[in-house]
Structure 1
Amino acid sequence: MLKIKDLKKNYGDFFLDCSLEVNRGQITGLIGQNGSGKSTTFKSILGLVYPNGGNITVFGKDYHYLTTKEKENIGVVLSDSGFSGYLRIKDIVPVLDNMYRTFDKSYFLEQVQKFQLPLNKQIKDFSTGMKAKLKVLVAISHDAKLLILDEPTAGLDVVARDELLEMLREFMEKDENRSILISSHISSDLESICDDLYMIHNGKIVFHEDTDVLLSDYGLLKVDEDQYHEIDKQYILRVKKEPFGYSCLTNQKQFYIENYPKITIEKGTIDEVITMMIRGLQK
């Protein structure tokens, strides 16, 4: 559905060098700190910034050569863009109806009512959650096959985030050929919805794993000095010194459970993996 190979972009001291792939029928997450390169990657996919190198293919074609009709199959939410605050939803409906040949006006208005978005209120007076829901709703209301969502849940409370993520789940359930690339620094959002995760740090992809594998196989070993020197380190990915000894990130948690029953082993969460991959040292 989407493939990025050796994408390069320079901004002064910042250098992006990124490769990733979004498969048909899957939701792929891109996680990383603010300023790590997520938005630059998304804008490069959409042709909003010009890369210094690399290849981007969408629907099997170089993205430069997508037809207007093919571009209509992409739904987009960018963290720093949106509609004019002086427009109302009833103003943008005819715009969308003319912009997209596949715009589903009935579905759009049903969802507007479901999420209690006011038709006659200027968007500038919407809450943060209402604005976010509107942007995602626009992206999914024209039968898009690929969604590009940059931080769609940023600034939302727990309830608003859950409603938005449920909207995305329903979008995927309706058509097995759809795909989503979504970025967020809220790990719990991606943990609950993504099939696989890429982690970007300082412009480089430093980690890629299926979400199920991450949650089942990854773990943190909490060991003292003696235990650290005794354990088999062949499955240790990162090590971080702690007051009690060491935290060790592994992708073979079961190996250490079976062979070292006396050491403390905690389940690996996305937050912990992010922290260890960024702050931990290679063994």
Structure 2
Amino acid sequence: MLSLKNLQKNYPGFSLDVSMEVEEGQITGLIGANGAGKSTTFKVILGLVHPDAGEIRLFNKDMEQISQKEKADIGATLSDSGFSNCLTVKQIVHILTETYEKFDREMFEKRCSLFSIPMDKKLKEFSTGMKAKLKVLTATSFDARLLVLDEPTAGLDVIARDSILELLREYMETEGRSILISSHISSDLESLCDDIYMIDKGRIVLHENTDVLLDEYGLIKADEKQYELLDKQHILKVKKEQYGYSCLTDERAFYAENYPQLAIERGSVDKVITMMIKGEVL
């Protein structure tokens, strides 16, 4: 569906160099701290930023070969952009009708009602959460093959987030679709994504199947003596703590079986992010 190979973009004090793939029929997460390169990656994919080097393939074609009609098969939300605050949703409906041949007006208006999005108010009167919901409803309203969603649940309460995630799951019930999504809310990605890429300082530092990350990764807590005796062949990152050491492993079962006295926590997106950024390689 989407392939990036050595995609590069250079700014003063920051450089991006990313390779990743989004498979057809899958939801792929991109995680990382603020400023790691997530939004830049999304903007390059969407053609809002021109890359300095590298290859982008979309729908099995080089990006340069993608027609305007095929670009309409991409639905997107960006954290720092949206419709003009002077518009109403009714006016946005007119814009979408004129822009997208496959825009489903009936479904869009029905979902706006379901998500309590007023049709006649200007967007400047919307809350942050209402604007976030409108972005996702727009991106899923015209039968796009690929969704590129940058922080789509930011600003939403728990109930609204769950509704949006359910909407994305429903979107994926149709064959031939994919989603690339970023979020600071790790539980969203853990419950939604098939695989996860982690970006740090403009580079991909980890790619893992979500089920593998949750089931096989772990965080070992060891004091000085326990750490000294620890078999470190399956340790990915180590962080010095007051009590001793935290160790990230992708073989939690190995350490649970061979070191039953150790405290070993199950893997999670938050724990992996923290250790991959703050931990050190042995």
Q: TM-score, normalised by structure 1?
A: 0.98
Aligned counterparts, 1:134-149, within 5 A = 134-149=134-149
Aligned-partner Cα distance in 1 for 2:46–2:61? 13
The structure 1 segments of at least 4 consecutive aligned residues displaced by more than 6 Å after TM superposition are: none
Return the offset for 1:264.
Answer: 1.0
Aligned-partner Cα distance in 2 for 1:35–1:50? 18
Other structure's SS at 1:192 match: helix
Aligned-partner Cα distance in 2 for 1:151–1:2? 19
2:132–2:155 contact (8 Å) kept in structure 1: no
Match in the other structure for 1:211: 210
Match in the other structure for 2:52: 52
1:34–1:185 contact (8 Å) kept in structure 2: no
Other structure's SS at 2:247 match: strand
Superposed CA offset, 1:101-123 (max 9, x none):
11111111110111111111111
Where do 5+ consecutive residues of structure 1 fail to align?
none
The aligned amino acid for 2:185 is: I
Superposed CA offset, 1:196-218 (max 9, x none):
00000000000110100000000
Aligned-partner Cα distance in 1 for 2:191–2:267? 15
The aligned amino acid for 1:201 is: D
Match in the other structure for 1:86: 86
CA RMSD between the two structures: 0.9
Query: Is 1:109 the counterpart of 2:109 in the alignment?
Result: yes
Aligned counterparts, 1:1-283, within 5 A = 1-173=1-173, 175-283=174-282
Superposed CA offset, 1:103-157 (max 9, x none):
1111111101111111111111111111111111111110000000111122222
Aligned-partner Cα distance in 1 for 2:167–2:224? 48
The aligned amino acid for 2:214 is: L
1:148–1:180 contact (8 Å) kept in structure 2: yes
Other structure's SS at 1:116 match: coil
Return the offset for 1:162.
Answer: 1.7
1:236–1:249 contact (8 Å) kept in structure 2: yes
Aligned-partner Cα distance in 2 for 1:128–1:265? 39
1:220–1:268 contact (8 Å) kept in structure 2: yes
2:129–2:154 contact (8 Å) kept in structure 1: no
Superposed CA offset, 1:175-212 (max 9, x none):
12110000112211111111100000000000110100
Aligned-partner Cα distance in 2 for 1:157–1:279? 29
Aligned-partner Cα distance in 2 for 1:95–1:52? 33
Return the offset for 1:268.
Answer: 1.3
Where do 5+ consecutive residues of structure 2 fail to align?
none
How many pairs are equivalent?
A: 282
